[in-house]
Structure 1
Amino acid sequence: MSSSKLHRNPPFRAEHLGSLLRTDKLLETRHAWEAGKKSAKDLEAVEDTDVKEIVKLQYDLGYEAITDGEYRRHMFWGSFWPGLEGMTEIATPDPDLFRMYIPDIAAFTEAGYKPGETVLCTGKIRHVGSTYTAQFDYLKSLVPESKWAGLKLTLAAPNWYHLRYKEGKAYPKDVYKNDDEYFADVAKAYQAELKILYEHGLRNVQFDDPNLAYFCSEAMIEGWKKDPLNTCSPDELLEKYIDLYNACVAEIPDDMHVGVHLCRGNFVNSRHFSEGGYDRIATLLFQKLNMHTYYLEYDTARAGGFEPLQHLPKNKNVILGVVTSKFPQLENEDEMVERVKEAAKWIAKGTGETEKEALNRCGVSPQCGFASHSSGNAVKWEDMIAKLKLVRRIADRIWPGEP
């Protein structure tokens, strides 16, 4: 997979992670639609208006990796499964389905919420139609064709339909004998999806993946090791997930940019899910996973230091999430500039590049979206704008004149 250039094509110097705060009108209309008090057409009309306005705002703030704010979604994973034959949503899941030590499951249940979007395999998986093309086609209609290559679509992580569930619960054994068979069909579904999206003009894909970050969590690792049902080690499972990703993107064209955001959680009230530095997964993550770009959370000490970036190869990029989207307080701009430069020093140490060369493969962003859950978190609209402006200023100081 060829490396991406950081100029007119993604990734860009100033990025955000996809989800943006919804307007009160959009939230009210969605809730009314869910209650049967508004039609789907009513909801779509508000979505269209708000997407159009949020696209203009992103351009006004100086961003090129434009998203629709995930305004047509309830949660960040964006419901890939309805386009798959053989997958079924469980509205009221039995708690016994879940590995309760998986960080997001623990956070949801402790907060009194049911785990988000429980989808199980119930038959052979087959891709039968894209659930994303309508979202992307509308987004594309709002900008000139010269800007299409920067438009970004966030996709659910392929391992989302596996890690959360206890051994033997993600799929029936009479349908798939083992994980390898199951993952092979999941990968084929993603290959089909990416092909369709490419044909619609998409060139910039970001996988949103909390699960990879969970392998940094000692609490998750300990829970995994104590679980008598598990048939492989955490490291073996991580390798399987990397192989799954590589199969998903194996057939993408050379001009399609793919990246992965290692999310540590951004639940209601800005609660995070997992902690732990990237050290224990860095070699596999950076050197074996076939992604052009890594969007990494680096806003607090829970993500550890920049030392793991020594393992980032010369043909890959990193977007450094040094600005938090969780809380309104603004970071010190000078300190954030220095943090990005510190990260570049560690990258250069690992590759033998100059620090300037290492900086050429970096960008800056908030550490997560502003509304992974449609209800948002502990920041208000004006806080989000201030954070996005700060990211743009940091980028302009380090890489003047670059998008």
Structure 2
Amino acid sequence: MPTQFENATTRDLPPFRADHVGSFLRPESVKEARLQLQEGKISEDELRAVEDDAIRDLVEKQKQCGLQAVTDGEFRRSWWHLDFFAGLEGLTKKVTEKGFVFQGVHTRAESVVLEDEIGFGEHPMLQHFAFLKACAGAHTAKMTIPSPAMLHFVLAIRNEQFKRPGFYATEDAFAEGIAKAYKDAVAAFYAAGCRYLQLDDTSWGGLCSEEQRAALKARGIDPDGLAKRYVDIVNAAIADRPADMMVTMHICRGNYRSTWFASGGYDPVAPELFANAKLDGFFLEYDTDRAGDFSPLRHIKNQQVVLGLVSSKTGELENAEDVKERIAEAAAIVPINQLCLSPQCGFSSTEEGNTLSEAEQWAKMRFIVETAASVWKPAT
């Protein structure tokens, strides 16, 4: 056992030593019901009943795996981000001319458009969380939503034709409007009983990529300035969260049908993101060399770092000793008790899901729980 593991202990607060990003492969019952709804064969209420049953079953499977935090698998969503955005005031989901490209694989052609000032009101995901919390029982109910920086990225950066509307007089006003809506969201989820909130964000994957940074510069956008703005937006959004609410951020380089859209280590963003974001933890993709080495973790302060060393893109099971060796490498930079273990991303960021089976998915989760248990022991 590596010497770094000698004082490794379990953790009772999120993020947990064995954790996960949130989404799981949609069962056939949910896929079929969503198709039937599109064809007009069932109602929204009938779809919800199917989703309810599937989520109850999913939560039990997570508990049986030994996980301390459970999610609803994002079973009620089509996209990990657009469904949440479309539930905000001032935004509408729309069909676009083309989808986003992941290594030659095209997503469905959908996005959101900004039609009025952004706000958080009677968002449907508050009810989604309430159902999850009721299913979770004594376990921690974890809510996952796209980050406020990701909203800016989708609206104003990914859409190269975006023009700031007149109801936001300045770029600062636009950023402040996003942060205010999210501040209201954080408060609403807390009031609903959420104590573990995860902000998902792939914009940082783009800001890690030298190719994409060059493309931004060619458009007159400073990637370092954008990184600072994004940290400011996130910090403003979570500034008023109560002390007993843990907020983490998951960062990856794309996850659509087991493909990806960006490569590059965390070096370009680490001095700003890791040092200045007032988050309680980071879920970091580290399953391939596309994410670089652990050296950028030297910028981490007191946050937990959840190492995404287990791939959710393939069914091939990792080797436990190899994973432990990598945890030991990271522990040479960040203290072992600031580290945790998870998949590098969700198993189904969109309803299509990744190219592995449900059996392989659960084998991965059991592997994570068992590996974490062999590294971090209860304090004596």
Structure 1 residue 137 and structure 2 residue 130: aligned?
Answer: yes
Confirm or deny: 8 A CA contact 1:321 1:368 kept in the other structure: yes
- Alignment match, 1:384: 361
SS across alignment from 2:143: strand
The DSSP-based 3-state class of the residue aligned with 1:141 is helix
Residues in 2 aligned to 1:84 and 1:366: alpha-carbon distance in whole angstroms: 29
The question of whether the paired residues in 2 share the 8 Å contact of 1:79 and 1:156 is answered with no
- Provide closer, same or farther for how the CA distance between residues 83 and 14 of structure 1 changes in structure 2, counting only shifts above 3 A: same
Using the TM superposition, give the Cα deviation of residue 220 of structure 1 relative to its aligned residue in structure 2, in angstroms: 0.5
Listed one character per residue, the Cα deviations across residues 40-86 of structure 1 (whole Å, up to 9, x for unaligned) are 11111111111001100001000011101111111112622344332
Give me the whole-angstrom Cα distance separating, in 2, the residues matched to 1:51 and 1:69. Answer: 7
Q: Aligned equivalents of 1:359 and 1:70: distance in 2?
A: 30
Contact 1:74 1:373 in 2 (8 A): yes
Normalising by structure 1, we get a TM-score of 0.87
Q: Which residue number in structure 2 is paired with residue 75 of structure 1?
A: 79
What secondary structure is seen at the aligned counterpart in 2 of 1:364? strand
Match of 2:256 in 1: 267
Q: Bigger CA drift: 78-87 or 166-175?
A: 166-175
C-alpha deviations, 1:225-264, integer Å up to 9, x for none?
222xx3x411001110110001110111111100000021
Residue aligning to 1:219: 211
SS in 2 for 1:163: helix
Name the CA distance, whole Å, in 2 between partners of 1:106 and 1:390: 31
User: In the TM superposition, what is the alpha-carbon distance from 1:131 to its structure 2 partner?
Assistant: 2.5
Are residues 78 and 152 of structure 1, via their aligned partners in 2, closer, same or farther at CA, if it must alter by over 3 Å? farther
2:107 and 2:193 mapped to 1: Cα distance?
38
Q: How do 1:308-347 residues align onto structure 2 when only pairs under 5 Å count?
A: 308-313=296-301, 315-347=302-334
Q: How far 1:169 sits from its partner (Å)?
A: 4.5
Q: Distance in 2 between matches of 1:178 and 1:324?
A: 41
Q: Is 2:20 aligned against 1:22?
A: no
Tell me the distance in 2 between the aligned counterparts of 1:34 and 1:401.
49
1:36 alignment partner in structure 2:
40
Counterpart position of 2:345:
368
Task: Answer whether contact 1:327 1:378 (CA < 8 A) is retained.
Answer: yes
- Does residue 124 in structure 1 map to residue 117 in structure 2? yes
Conserved in 2, the CA contact under 8 Å of 1:191 and 1:249?
yes
Q: Which stretch of the first structure deviates more once superposed, 292-301 or 38-47?
A: 38-47
Match of 1:47 among 33, 47, 51: 51
CA offset digits 1:312-368 (Å, max 9, x no partner): 11x211000001011111111011011111101022xxxxxxxxxx11111000100
Indicate conservation of the 8 Å contact 1:79/1:131, yes or no.
Answer: no
Which of the numbers 85, 91, 96 marks the counterpart of 1:87?
91
Aligned to 1:111: 105
Greater Cα offset, 393-402 or 327-336: 393-402
Q: Secondary structure at the match of 1:21?
A: coil
Q: What amino acid is aligned across from residue 136 of structure 1 in structure 2?
A: F
Residue-by-residue CA offset, 1:139-177 (whole Å, 9 max, x unaligned): 111133x43xx2111011212333244578445432212
Q: What is the Cα deviation at residue 193 of structure 1?
A: 1.0
Summarize the Cα distance change of 1:382–1:120 in structure 2 as closer, same or farther, 3 Å threshold.
same
Identity of aligned residues (%): 35
Per-residue deviation, 1:113 = 3.6
1:175-186 to 2 correspondence within 5 Å?
A: 175-186=167-178
Gaps of 5+ in 1: 96-103, 348-357
The aligned amino acid for 2:239 is A
User: Structure 2: how far apart are the matches of 1:151 and 1:203?
Assistant: 8
Q: TM-score, normalised by structure 2?
A: 0.92
Q: Separation in 2 of the partners of 1:105 and 1:249?
A: 29
CA contact (8 A) 1:120 1:170 kept: no
Q: What does 1:298-313 align with in structure 2 at a 5 Å threshold?
A: 298-313=286-301
Q: Does 1:198 align with 2:185?
A: no
User: Counterpart amino acid of 2:34?
Assistant: R
Q: 1:303 to 1:51 in 2, by over 3 A?
A: same
Q: Which amino acid aligns with 1:191?
A: K
Pairing 1:153–2:147 present: no
Aligned-partner SS, 2:132: helix
What's the counterpart of residue 163 of structure 1?
A: 153
Aligned-CA RMSD value: 1.9
Q: Does the 8 Å CA contact 2:100/2:107 hold for their aligned counterparts? A: no
Instruction: String of CA shifts for 1:89-144, please: whole Å, max 9, x gaps.
Output: 222x256xxxxxxxx93428x4344444x112122223222221111111111133
Q: Tell me how far apart the structure 2 counterparts of residues 85 and 168 of structure 1 sit (CA, whole Å).
A: 23
Amino acid at match of 2:374: R
Query: Whole-Å Cα distance in 2 between the matches of residues 395 and 171 of structure 1?
Result: 47
Q: Take 1:333 and 1:251, find their aligned partners in 2: how far apart are those partners?
A: 40
